[in-house]
């Protein structure tokens, strides 16, 4: 197990996929959380929030974002990595597809696709947990809405703080910017739901 993890780390380092993975993780986590925020606040604004509809729409969106993220990233990364291997092949006048660089490129492609696909699914499913709890009779619909929106704001704040840490900026300010964007999007979703 430790040997496999060490090998994986080595492949990820050789391929240089770490910074790409960070970008995929943050962008797609943001998309997942914001999509569910739109579903929840739009449904609330319409005045007839039904937990089954929120769960159905939310799961549908989560699965669609996950499938889109995985397949889009896999196909894009695969094309980019194949191009790099062709450049290496021409420079070295040898097939490098079975070399350590070739294996690292294959691992990087799958790794980036997994990050791209799983991150929006996870951040979309977490805020739907209160609606599952409501459908089981554990909490009221008002509590489900409150907990869901609060969890989305927390997720977005943490994503922003993470970006602040990466860029050596204020984590608090960076997290706050993400929350402001979410509040503005929620306001627009609520207004649209009112029509």
pLDDT at residue 4 above 90?
no
Q: How many CB atoms lie within 10 A of CB 167?
A: 10
Please state, in angstroms and rounded to a whole number, the distance separating the CA atoms of residues 50 and 87. Answer: 55
pLDDT at residue 76 above 90?
no
- Of the pLDDT bands very low, low, confident and very high (cuts 50, 70, 90), residue 85 is confident
Structural contact between residues 109 and 13, judged by C-beta atoms closer than 8 angstroms: no
Residues in the chain: 195
* pTM score, whole prediction: 0.83
pLDDT at residue 146 above 80?
yes
Average pLDDT, the chain: 87
Average pLDDT of the residues in 181-194: 87
Q: What is the share, in percent, of the chain residues with pLDDT greater than 70?
A: 90
Structural contact between residues 171 and 165, judged by C-beta atoms closer than 8 angstroms: yes
H/E stretch holding 187: helix 171-194
* pLDDT, tens only, 127-143: 999 999 999 999 999 99
């Amino acid at each position: 197990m430790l040997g496999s993890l060490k090998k994986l780390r080595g492949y990820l380092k050789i391929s240089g996929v770490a910074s790409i993975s960070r970008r995929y993780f943050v962008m797609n986590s943001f998309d997942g959380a914001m999509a569910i925020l739109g579903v929840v606040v739009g449904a609330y604004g319409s005045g007839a929030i039904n937990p089954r509809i929120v769960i159905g729409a939310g799961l549908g969106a989560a699965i669609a974002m996950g499938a889109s993220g995985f397949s889009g990233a896999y196909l894009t990364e695969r094309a980019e990595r194949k191009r790099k291997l062709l450049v290496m092949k021409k420079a070295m006048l040898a097939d490098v597809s079975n070399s350590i660089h070739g294996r690292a490129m294959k691992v990087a492609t799958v790794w980036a696709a997994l990050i791209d696909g799983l991150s929006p699914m996870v951040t979309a499913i977490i805020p739907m947990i209160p609606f599952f709890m409501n459908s089981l009779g554990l909490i009221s619909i008002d509590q489900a809405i409150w907990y869901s929106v609060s969890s989305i704001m927390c997720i977005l704040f943490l994503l922003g703080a993470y970006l602040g840490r990466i860029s050596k900026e204020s984590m608090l300010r960076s997290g706050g910017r993400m929350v402001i964007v979410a509040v503005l999007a929620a306001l627009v979703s609520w207004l649209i739901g009112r029509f």
